[in-house]
Amino acid sequence: MKLTIKAMMVTLGLLLFLTAPLKSFADAAPGDVIITLGQDLTSSQKQQVLNDLDAPSNAQTVTVTNQEEHEYLGDFIPKATIGSRAISSSSITLGSKDSGLSVSTQNINGITDDMYINALMTAGVKDAKIQITAPFEVSGTAALTGIMKAYEVQTDQKIPEEVKKAANEEMVQTSELGEKIGKEKAAQFMATIKEEIAKENPQTKDDLRTLIQRVADDLGIKLTDSELNTLVDFFNRLKDMNIDWNQVKDQLSATKEKVTTFLQSEEGQSFLDKLKQFFVDIINAIKSLFS
């Protein structure tokens, strides 16, 4: 709990990052790549990260500093939690329209792919393939700073500050709930709430309360009155912000469709067969213990 909560809170705060004056990519096209690198990587670690990300030789690079992390997180969490080095790095590859978001991580602890996706959708990031990595296990804070920075530069689209703050708060809510019901289920819960808000457009706090409670019941999640009130207040503020809920719904649908398409593909079926065989091997190994 302690490491996870700290890591999640640190990650959240980084969505507050404001874009520095960098080259504009207003004419960015699908397939364009920007690489973000933590400033405190050694030369060998930087090369390792670039190899892990399959970085094109001509890719634009953005450096993320620990000072930037502290600047945008210092009011929210202790300095010791943020740390003294910017290590985690990432790549963001623009996808075609309505291709959805995908996130993959390596050596990132405490934060699931779906938690990244949920917060990025709230912040307005769309249609992109994102890879996050580090040469050893880290919280992933510098990488998320880079993702937001790179996306704004790459698309020439400014993310409103209040929306960044809301995305941070969402991640805090998800991390706290994840300690109770599990990270994956917490991410699913928050995503489903947003999907239902996009569909139903609730007008009052009572409407929101009913919606959130229904989603919780459908997923078998028991919320305390305090948890429910906190979620109602949060989503009530969120729905009054300049968020394109139709876009959120479209991104959720596109992302789900991408997963379904993969599982139905030859590669996906091969993956499922290997997963099935893995569990069969485990069962056989257990049986052998008693034979």
Return the structure tokens found at 140. Answer: 């992933």
pLDDT tens for each residue of 235-281: 998 878 877 777 777 777 766 554 444 445 565 555 455 555 655 66
pLDDT tens for each residue of 135-163: 999 877 667 667 877 888 878 888 777 77
* 156 φ/ψ sector (left φ>0, alpha ψ -120 to 50, else beta): left
Residue 24 has pLDDT above 50, yes or no: no
In the predicted model, what is the mean pLDDT of the chain? 76
As a 3-state breakdown, the chain gives helix, strand, coil percent values, each rounded to 5, of 60, 10, 30
- Residue 91, beta-bridge partner list: 35, 131
- Residue 103, beta-bridge partner list: 130
| Predicted pLDDT of residue 285 | 64
Sheet holding 101-105, edge to edge: 60-64, 33-38, 89-94, 128-133, 101-105
Q: How many CB atoms lie within 10 A of CB 80?
A: 8
pLDDT-based confidence at residue 75 (cuts at 50, 70, 90): low
pLDDT-based confidence at residue 110 (cuts at 50, 70, 90): low
Q: How many CB atoms lie within 10 A of CB 33?
A: 21
